[in-house]
Amino acid sequence: MKLILAPMEGVVDYKMRQLLTDIGGYDRCVTEFIRVSAQPVPKKVFLRLCPELEHGGRTRAGVPVYVQLLGGCPDLMAKSAVIGVSSGALGIDLNFGCPAKTVNRRDGGSALLQYPRRIESIVDAVRQCVDPAIPVCAKIRLGFDSADLLPEIVERIAAAGANELCIHARTRLDGYKPPAHWQHISGIRRPEKMELIVNGEIWSAPDAREAQHQSDCKSLMLGRGALARPDLARIIRSHLKAGDGRDWQAFSWPEVAVRVERFFNQQDSGNHRYVGNRTKQWLGYLRKNYVGANQLFQQIKKLKDRDEIATMIKRHRSQLEMISNTSFNYTRDQTKPFDEFSSQTSSRLSRTKIGVPTAA
Ligand SMILES: Cc1cc2nc3c(=O)[nH]c(=O)nc-3n(C[C@H](O)[C@H](O)[C@H](O)COP(=O)(O)O)c2cc1C
């Protein structure tokens, strides 16, 4: 079983990848999508969106990061993939699932699910140009407005030589509306060489088990669930007795809060207009599972001043420590927290507004 951290534009940037892979349980991450439009993507763009490329293409915890491309022109996609690989990418992921209207209008993402031959020619062009040792993966939805074309899409992606295919078990029309239709994947003819990965609505270990069962796929990609429960991959491994199979006691809120504070201190220092937005966005996911996250969210949601937010988070954490008489730290991370390898911040701060769940 592989557990992959889903690409999430405007949310899962390299800081979040670092934070979540430090906690552990993941076999791989994928960058936010990199749009390929009029020109091949230059190296500097790859390095900005995937600073891990300067560190062997892996997160600090050693988890490989594949670079995701989105576009409709086979030639430009292939040229961009070659630049990505020469910049250090350990794998290329092709996005055929993005539902955003602006992306679809410009010929990319899930719009291409209506044209399986076009998807095939993009995967084929990339596969032909990229070193055979580098995996080429694709990420799709069940279809554009129905799953009717799914068997053909899967067959064509396999024929083009993709190594893996991740299926987000909803159509574009479904958006992010639950449920995910994992069962649609199980009937599809399995190409031998291409592994299928199921994605969508996996928020807990029972969801993971059910997704595996209904889709007949072993490997899973975790999206919003990974943000709502930062140790979800460890919990799933522990419950399914997969990987190292070690028992894992789920994080308490104070253990998460220490990471929220650190995330704020690292991440939210960029453009003052957006100060705190990333942390508020993450708390928006966390409060689905932790009452304390909701309290902290309410305390900071209207604040705009960096120092005020920092003070409020600190106060919240001190109260937690006082109540439990314990000092919480990062002892359950796989890596030490202070050996930063980059001070860059993503330029995509606060651009994403979709998909943030409301309080449960
Ligand atoms: C805010 C947000 C940003 C996303 N950005 C990307 C992206 O850049 N590339 C991609 O392939 N999918 C993207 N997705 C889709 C996710 O990777 C995933 O397929 C989807 O959220 C379903 O999984 P989940 O139900 O576990 O969240 C995004 C989803 C969300 C909510």
Q: Output the 3-class SS for 160-219.
A: CCCCEEEEEEEECCCCCCCCCCCHHHHCCCCCCCCEEEEECCCCCHHHHHHHHHHHCCCE
| CATH code: domain of residue 96 | 3.20.20.70
Q: pLDDT per residue over 129-151, tens digit each? A: 999 999 999 999 999 999 999 99
Task: State in Å: Cα 318 to ligand 1 middle.
Answer: 34
**What's the predicted TM-score (pTM) here?**
0.91
Cα–Cα distance measured from residue 314 to residue 258, given in angstroms and rounded to the nearest whole number = 9
Q: Which residues does ligand 1 sit against, CB inside 6 Å?
A: 6-11, 32-33, 68, 95, 97-98, 139, 168, 199-202, 222-225, 352, 354-355
**Of the residues 3, 5, 9, which should be mutated to test ligand 1's pocket, given the most ligand atoms within 8 Å of the CB?**
9
Token pair listed for 101? 């209207």
Cα–Cα distance measured from residue 141 to residue 199, given in angstroms and rounded to the nearest whole number = 9
Task: State in Å: Cα 223 to ligand 1 middle.
Answer: 6
98 catalytically annotated: yes
Check whether residue 220 and residue 146 sit in a common domain. yes
Check whether residue 58 and residue 156 sit in a common domain. yes
Residue 116 lies inside a defined structural domain of this protein? yes
Nearest C-alpha neighbor of 122 from the set 91, 87, 93: 93
Give the pLDDT confidence score for residue 322 in this predicted structure. 83
Looking from the CA of residue 226, the nearest atom of ligand 1 is 26
Task: State in Å: Cα 315 to ligand 1 middle.
Answer: 33
For ligand 1, atom 18, name the residue with the nearest CA.
Answer: 223
Cα–Cα distance measured from residue 279 to residue 285, given in angstroms and rounded to the nearest whole number = 10
Q: pLDDT per residue over 59-99, tens digit each? A: 999 999 999 999 999 999 999 999 999 999 999 999 998 88
> Could you list the residue range(s) of the whole structural domain that residue 282 is in?
250-360
Check whether residue 157 and residue 256 sit in a common domain. no
**Residue 119 contacts residue 138 (beta carbons within 8 Å):** yes
Amino acid at residue number 254: P
Check whether residue 48 and residue 151 sit in a common domain. yes
Residue 187 has pLDDT above 60, yes or no: yes
Amino acid at residue number 185: I
